[in-house]
Amino acid sequence: MLYLLSKSLSALTQKERFFFRIALITSLVAGFFVLVNAYYAATVEVPAEGGSFTEGIVGQPAFINPLLSSGNDADASAIELLYPRLGNLIQTYEAGPDRKTVSVKIKKNLAWDDGTPLTADDVVFTIETAQDILVRSLTAGAWQGVLVEKTNDDELRFTLREPSAFFESTVRALKIAPRHIFGAIPSSNLRLSAYNLEPVGAGPWKFAGLETEKNGYITELNLVPNPNYAGPHPFIRNFSLRFYQNEESALAGFNAKEIDGLGGIGPDEARSLAVEHHLASISLPRYYAIFFNRATHPALKDKGVRQALALVIDRKKITDDVFHGEASTAMGPIPAQTEGYDATAFQTAENPVESARQLLDAAGWLVNPEDGVRYKTVGRDRTRLEFTVLVPDLPLLIQTMEIVKAEWAAIGVRVTISPMTSEDMQKGPIKTRNYEMAVFGNVLKENPDVFAFWHSSQKFHPGLNLSMYENKEADVILTDIQKAEKPDIAELKKLQRLIHDDAPAAFLINPNYLYAIPANLHGFNTEGLIAPSDRLKDAGAWYVRTKRQFKE
């Protein structure tokens, strides 16, 4: 056949042979594209194993241990990757008729990444250790009054003092710690264990090593897929957390492509990212507010004063001018994305400044013509509307308070801004309630449980009622909401109106969490994120490589 083709070609003129070659090449190219199109039509792109991902974090890990973590981003992020939530291990969850007893069955054949079986003993150990006062666990409050018992290797029974609408979410969110690692260590010595920085977990990743400098500074935590993980194995083969001393060096690292992901970026800094990326803007259930402490300044006992202070704040100006739109306004104790939020509880005045002045006038607060600061004389004591407000030493919050300061000055209120590191605030004045006003953030869960923030029993440390708020009707509602089988929306709406009217705090804003990731990262999911570290909860499903497979 080739002989005949060759003979036929030799019979052609040079010009005919040229056009024949052109036609042949055209046919071959067309055929190639037909085959390619047929291949793509018959196949689908799917995730493939391989690649690496390095996350940049400002700060240092100290306790990669769910029992001891202080909540800093370095610890919380590592824990999210290494330790399982009980909810991912549960096979069945059943509440008894009185809802004071709960039976939980966990999956069989679970194991820690060192091969040791993970059983109900680990769950009991985790909760009982969290309850131990010597451990000083941040999760202790969630387990107050809860008795947990092992009924067999994969079954547990919880006994509650009172039924709780939110107990199931508490159980499912629990991060399990390994009993075989920490069980023999005295509670007071848990913080000394080397396993706090060389963790044994049961999450999608396992510890592979630390990189440190000679001075002890940890520069990187390296992880690899955990072969004993109960869920699907991660696609990415090497996952690292790289630690930076400050935000400036972390941003420089991102722009130098030392890292692939960087979270907690400020809105100004997000504009300075020089490499191609996707910026995820995530609204979490949290807010900042100015908490008024009525116990330390007599003027703050006057509801008219508190209402005026809250009323005059232009929250839209803060979200636009300070956060460049990467925030939402916060009006009350329940964030807008949380079940039970009632926007109608927070009606604003057409002229907030004039309305605030009228409130103060009606309460008898006079304007001092010499300095413009309002005052009121009761008996022999003259009280001025002059306050000091503690603010975390963060530029965005200080800028926010500068705006508020100017707005309060317009109604005859003088404020001094006192910056302080968040850590110093929590260890000092927040713990002792020694402040007149304090800017602080409340972080909620996936449910509208705000008992710890507003019930009068939570006025003192370790409670989180920073306004020292007392309202008997609110207390009843908060208690009833906790005991109900499911949150009562009508009661939640009533609670928001009560708190709005009492004005124990001036609610400010809910800043979005900004997370820069590579444009080629797939599988990142923003649904159901509660805390910043939740950005990593589905990291096992992330992938940077793909392959094609034939459709079924």
Question: Identity (one letter) of the amino acid at 441?
Answer: G
Residue 30 lies in a domain: no
Which tokens is 196 given?
């706090």
Given 146, 164, 192, the domain boundary residue is 192
b/e burial code for range 57-79 (CB count within 10 A of at least 16 → b): bbbebbbbbbbbbeebbbbbbbb
CATH number of domain containing 59: 3.40.190.10
pTM of the model: 0.86
CATH number of domain containing 113: 3.90.76.10
Residue 164 lies in a domain: yes
Q: Which residues are CB-neighbours of 422 under 8 A, at least 6 positions away?
A: 392, 393, 394
**C-alpha to C-alpha distance for 466 and 458, rounded to whole angstroms:** 9
Q: What percent of the chain has pLDDT over 90?
A: 74
pLDDT band at residue 339 using 50, 70 and 90 as cut-offs: confident
Residue-wise pLDDT for 235-267, tens only, equals 999 999 999 999 999 999 999 999 999 999 999
Alpha-helical (H) ranges within 384-465 are: 395-409, 422-427, 429-432, 451-454
pLDDT at 114 over 80: yes
Residue 416: its pLDDT value, please?
A: 97
Residue-wise pLDDT for 47-87, tens only, equals 889 999 999 999 999 999 999 988 789 999 999 999 999 99
Hey, is 404 helix, strand or coil? helix
**C-alpha to C-alpha distance for 205 and 234, rounded to whole angstroms:** 8
**C-alpha to C-alpha distance for 461 and 91, rounded to whole angstroms:** 37
pLDDT at 16 over 70: no
Q: Which residues are CB-neighbours of 21 under 8 A, at least 6 positions away?
A: none
Instruction: Check if the beta carbon of residue 437 is closer than 8 Å to that of residue 387.
Output: yes
Work out the end-to-end distance of the chain between its first and last CA atoms, rounded to an integer number of angstroms: 40
In this structure, the answer to whether residues 268 and 292 fall within a common structural domain is no
**Please, what is the average pLDDT of the chain?**
91
pLDDT band at residue 18 using 50, 70 and 90 as cut-offs: low
In this structure, the answer to whether residues 381 and 437 fall within a common structural domain is yes
Residue-wise pLDDT for 297-332, tens only, equals 999 999 999 999 999 999 999 999 999 999 999 999
Q: What percent of the chain has pLDDT over 70?
A: 92
Q: How many CB atoms are located within 10 Å of the residue 279 CB?
A: 13
User: How many domains, in total, are found in the chain?
Assistant: 3
In this structure, the answer to whether residues 382 and 264 fall within a common structural domain is no
Residue 8: its pLDDT value, please?
A: 61
State the chain's maximal CA–CA distance in angstroms.
124
Hey, is 284 helix, strand or coil? coil
The sign one gets for the Cα dihedral 39, 45, 51, 55 is positive
In this structure, the answer to whether residues 429 and 541 fall within a common structural domain is no
Q: How many CB atoms are located within 10 Å of the residue 206 CB?
A: 21
How many residues would you count in the chain? 552
In this structure, the answer to whether residues 163 and 212 fall within a common structural domain is no
Domain span at residue 156? 84-192
pLDDT band at residue 92 using 50, 70 and 90 as cut-offs: very high
Least confident of 20-29, 269-278, 403-412, 455-464: 20-29
Residue 70: its pLDDT value, please?
A: 80
pLDDT band at residue 135 using 50, 70 and 90 as cut-offs: very high
**C-alpha to C-alpha distance for 11 and 392, rounded to whole angstroms:** 91
